[in-house]
Structure 1
Amino acid sequence: MLEVLQQHLAQNLPFLKDKKLLLATSGGIDSMVLVHLFQQLGYDISIAHCNFGLRGVESDGDEQFIRNYASQNNIPSFVTHFDTNTFANDAKVSIQIAARQLRYIWFEELLQEHGLDYLLTAHHLDDSIETFLINFTRGTGLEGLTGIPQQNGNIVRPLLPFGRTQIEGYATQHNIQWREDSSNASDKYLRNKLRHHVVPILKSLNGGFEASFTNTLNHLQQAKSMADDAAALVFKQVIRDYGSYKHIDITQLKRLPNYKAYLYYWLSPMGFTAWDDIYNLADAQPGKYVLSGDYRLLKDRDFLVLEMVSGYDSGIYEIEENVQKTTIPIGLKLENVHYFEQNHTKNIIFVNKELIKFPLFVRKWKEGDYFYPFGMKGLKKKVSKYFKDEKFSLSDKENTWLLCSGEDIIWVVGHRADNRFRVTENTTQILKIAFLQE
């Protein structure tokens, strides 16, 4: 196994050589074999162990076992304790998810604090088989059928080519000691049920099951790579990127042979799951939307608008008279000048300073707001009607700020100034206000 791993590292993971590696080590057979292998190969390693406090004395025994091993083998080690049950209850997640989140956050902190390059975990071929079956039974797309990735950023899984039988054989051959996790014997969790009952049957049906499965994973990974490339090309044709949000052209989208598949590819990484609602959104009334945890997909006339959900800011922000520049909640620059330009631009206006009173206020619009749009000869207009006439989307409305003097609107920032504060030939104090867009 050592020779095969050495070849695998040279061919597929050569970047690990001469790097500082952190090995996630539970004390179980998989992680102890991982540590032994990388010791034998002479890599620069440290080990990290999490005590999740879930198995009482047994968890403490695992911790002491790791401490002793590290000390006896002169390996730098890091150990931490977590109150996993409390974290899971507070975050309203399962124990398994809580433990995963806690350990990977800590691992990343260790990498940053100690200048370590990569985190290595002991996931192997049987873990990948189990993950495939879990996703398959729960329903998944192509990505869920490609197994555990060999590398994800600075997380590397060098034992994926090896099955559990090979790992057990190596441990026996080299008299490697490990700790047995009693929870692994329970069928309480789906992964354990598959490990104890389903995978053995599959292996008994096909003596070369592991090789066949690896071959299938390779084909699926290649198919996913092709699908990713196609989705990226179509993305550029159908979607316009405006930075904080994206417009999906519905007409072009519907011309695709299977536009639902493309929507799934684009949106599933953002946490969307209500696929029937998303697919129906293309034919829904404007204003309808679907939310994921961090994103919103909104129907807006001829487009689907994808944007991050940042929350509606209902705050009111003051600008004192002596302030020349502010960046909260938006960037504005205020300057006393002795000239003015007749035609305002979207991002620069000139106002009669004598007609405004400080502090000025920056806020979002509310129902009943009105102003006198510059250039409309004193006609009064509701802000909501202005938005409608200018064809503002819901997102545009939510992201537009008003600059106000008391209750009076001076400027729909970045769009239209108010005529009441315009500069005339009799104006003696002129204030130039510029919108500093990112």
Structure 2
Amino acid sequence: MLSKLQNHLSQNLALLKDKKLLLAVSGGIDSVVLVYLLKQLQLDIYIAHCNFNLRGEESDGDEAFIRDFAKKNNIHIFVTNFNTKAFATDNKVSIQIAARQLRYLWFNELLEQNQLDYLLTAHHLDDSIETFLINFTRGTGLEGLTGIPQQNDKVVRPLLPFTRNEIEAYAKENNITWREDSSNASDKYLRNKLRHDVVPILKSLNPAFTDSFTQTINYLQQAQSLIQDAAILVYKEVVAEREGQKHINIAQLKRLPNYKAYLYQWLSPFGFTAWDDIYNLTEAQPGKYVLSAGFRLLKDREVLILEPLFKGNKEVYEIAQNMQQTTNPIGLKLQIVEAIDEISTKNVIFVNNELIKFPLFVRKWQEGDYFYPLGMNGLKKKVSKYFKDEKMSLSEKENTWLLCSENQIIWVIGRRADNRFKTNENTTQILKIEFYNNEKA
């Protein structure tokens, strides 16, 4: 197995050569064997162990075993403890998802803080088979049927070509000790049920099942690669990126054969799962949208807009009297001038400084807000009605800021000033306000 791994690394994972490698080690047979193998290959390795405090004394025993193992083998070790159940409760996720989120967040911190190059996990061929079957039984796209990837950014899995039987045989031949996780014996989890009941039947039906599976996965990965390449090429023709948003041109999209497949490729990385609802958006009324955990896909006239979820309209930012410039939440410059030296535009206004009370406030609009739009002869108008008349999309409304003096709106920033603060021939203090970006610094 050692020579097979050495050949695999030189042919497929040469990127690991002369790098500092962090190994995720639970204490189970897979991760312990990975440490032994890489130590024999004289790679620069470090151990990271998470105690999730889920199995009482057994979890503490795993930690003690790993600490002792690292000491005997003269390997630097990082250990952390998590209150996994509390995290799962607070974040309303399962214990499995909580443990995954916690460990990978910590692993990434270790990589950055200690200038380590890659994180190595001990996933092997049987893990990939089980992942394939889990995704298959739950329903998935092609990507879910391509098994566990050999590399995801800085996460590398060097044992993927090896079966569980190969790993167990190597451990016995080399008198390697490890810790057994009692939860692996339970069929409470779908992965364990597939491991104990389904995979053995598949292997009995075809003694060369693992070889056939590997070949099939290779074909599926090649097909997925072709799809991704096509999606990238078409993306440039159909999608425009604007100020943190992605605008998908619906007319151009629907000219594509199998346009739904392209939408799936573009949107699945953003956590969307309600595919029928997403496909229906192309025919929906403007203003309809579909949400994922962190993003929204909004129908806006002739485009679908993908953007991060709006955080709300309760943020208020203060501008003190002596401030000449602010970048939070947007870029504004304030300057007392002797005269109006240019025409007011959507991005530059001139107001009567004597009518303003500092500090000023920048905030999002709220229901009930009103102002007196400049140029409307002093008529009062609700901000919501102004937005509607301007035919602003939901996204545009949510990304528009107001500049206020106390409870009065001075400026719908980047759009229309308020008539109450305009200058005239008797104005002695003119304040020039310039809007120079619309993104948080």
Looking at structure 2, the residues matched to 72 and 405 of structure 1 have their Cα atoms a distance apart, in angstroms, of 68
How many angstroms does 1:387 deviate by?
Answer: 1.8
Instruction: Check if 1:22 corresponds to 2:27.
Output: no
Aligned to 2:154: 154
Aligned to 2:251: 251
When normalised by structure 1's length, the TM-score is 0.94
Gaps of 5+ in 1: none
Compare 379-388 and 308-317 and name the one that shifted more: 379-388
Looking at structure 1, the residues matched to 201 and 332 of structure 2 have their Cα atoms a distance apart, in angstroms, of 68
Task: Please give the per-residue CA displacement for 1:353-374, whole angstroms capped at 9, x wherever unaligned.
Answer: 2333333332322344443433
Q: Residue type matched to 2:297 in 1?
A: L
The alignment covers a number of residue pairs equal to 438
How many angstroms does 1:376 deviate by?
Answer: 4.7
Q: 1:417 to 1:65 in 2, by over 3 A?
A: same
Q: Residue type matched to 2:63 in 1?
A: E
Instruction: Check if 1:41 corresponds to 2:41.
Output: yes
Task: Please give the per-residue CA displacement for 1:45-100, whole angstroms capped at 9, x wherever unaligned.
Answer: 12222222222333233222222222222122222222322322232222222222
Q: Secondary structure at the match of 1:286?
A: coil
Percent identical: 72
Q: 1:235 to 1:420 in 2, by over 3 A?
A: same
Looking at structure 2, the residues matched to 15 and 223 of structure 1 have their Cα atoms a distance apart, in angstroms, of 25
Task: Please give the per-residue CA displacement for 1:378-413, whole angstroms capped at 9, x wherever unaligned.
Answer: 555443333223221011111111223344432110
| 1:20–1:116 contact (8 Å) kept in structure 2 | yes
Q: 1:27 to 1:321 in 2, by over 3 A?
A: closer
Q: 1:10 to 1:86 in 2, by over 3 A?
A: same
| 2:313–2:365 contact (8 Å) kept in structure 1 | no
| 1:121–1:156 contact (8 Å) kept in structure 2 | yes
How many angstroms does 1:241 deviate by?
Answer: 0.9
Compare 222-231 and 70-79 and name the one that shifted more: 70-79
Compare 88-97 and 218-227 and name the one that shifted more: 88-97
Instruction: Check if 1:389 corresponds to 2:389.
Output: yes
Aligned to 2:69: 69
Q: Residue type matched to 1:336 in 2?
A: I
Aligned to 2:165: 165
Q: 1:317 to 1:184 in 2, by over 3 A?
A: closer
Aligned to 2:60: 60
Looking at structure 1, the residues matched to 133 and 113 of structure 2 have their Cα atoms a distance apart, in angstroms, of 37
How many angstroms does 1:121 deviate by?
Answer: 0.8
Q: 1:356 to 1:251 in 2, by over 3 A?
A: same
Q: 1:388 to 1:53 in 2, by over 3 A?
A: closer
Task: Please give the per-residue CA displacement for 1:179-213, whole angstroms capped at 9, x wherever unaligned.
Answer: 22222122111111111111111112222211111
Compare 249-258 and 359-368 and name the one that shifted more: 359-368
| 2:310–2:398 contact (8 Å) kept in structure 1 | no
Instruction: Check if 1:221 corresponds to 2:201.
Output: no
How many angstroms does 1:133 deviate by?
Answer: 0.4
| 1:341–1:350 contact (8 Å) kept in structure 2 | no
Looking at structure 1, the residues matched to 358 and 77 of structure 2 have their Cα atoms a distance apart, in angstroms, of 60
Q: 1:367 to 1:73 in 2, by over 3 A?
A: closer
Instruction: Check if 1:292 corresponds to 2:279.
Output: no
Q: 1:358 to 1:92 in 2, by over 3 A?
A: closer
How many angstroms does 1:226 deviate by?
Answer: 1.0
Compare 379-388 and 201-210 and name the one that shifted more: 379-388
Compare 260-269 and 362-371 and name the one that shifted more: 362-371
Aligned to 2:398: 398
Looking at structure 1, the residues matched to 361 and 243 of structure 2 have their Cα atoms a distance apart, in angstroms, of 27
Aligned to 2:92: 92
Gaps of 5+ in 2: none
Aligned to 1:415: 415
Correspondence list, 1:253-332, <5 A = 253-332=253-332
| 2:125–2:160 contact (8 Å) kept in structure 1 | yes
How many angstroms does 1:173 deviate by?
Answer: 1.8
Looking at structure 2, the residues matched to 96 and 149 of structure 1 have their Cα atoms a distance apart, in angstroms, of 20
Q: 1:361 to 1:21 in 2, by over 3 A?
A: closer
| 2:372–2:380 contact (8 Å) kept in structure 1 | yes
Q: Secondary structure at the match of 2:63?
A: helix
Q: 1:68 to 1:383 in 2, by over 3 A?
A: closer
How many angstroms does 1:149 deviate by?
Answer: 0.9
How many angstroms does 1:434 deviate by?
Answer: 0.8
| 2:313–2:366 contact (8 Å) kept in structure 1 | no
Q: Residue type matched to 1:309 in 2?
A: L
Looking at structure 2, the residues matched to 91 and 122 of structure 1 have their Cα atoms a distance apart, in angstroms, of 28
| 1:122–1:159 contact (8 Å) kept in structure 2 | yes
Q: Residue type matched to 1:108 in 2?
A: N
Task: Please give the per-residue CA displacement for 1:316-336, whole angstroms capped at 9, x wherever unaligned.
Answer: 444333222223332211101
Correspondence list, 1:174-253, <5 A = 174-253=174-253
Q: Residue type matched to 1:300 in 2?
A: D
Looking at structure 1, the residues matched to 53 and 404 of structure 2 have their Cα atoms a distance apart, in angstroms, of 56
Looking at structure 2, the residues matched to 317 and 302 of structure 1 have their Cα atoms a distance apart, in angstroms, of 34
Q: Residue type matched to 2:15 in 1?
A: F
How many angstroms does 1:5 deviate by?
Answer: 0.8
| 1:38–1:45 contact (8 Å) kept in structure 2 | yes
How many angstroms does 1:150 deviate by?
Answer: 0.7
Q: Residue type matched to 1:436 in 2?
A: Y
Q: Residue type matched to 1:411 in 2?
A: W
Looking at structure 2, the residues matched to 314 and 86 of structure 1 have their Cα atoms a distance apart, in angstroms, of 29
Q: Secondary structure at the match of 1:436?
A: strand
Q: Residue type matched to 2:35 in 1?
A: V
Compare 130-139 and 61-70 and name the one that shifted more: 61-70
| 1:340–1:423 contact (8 Å) kept in structure 2 | no
Task: Please give the per-residue CA displacement for 1:401-436, whole angstroms capped at 9, x wherever unaligned.
Answer: 122334443211011223443333443221110113
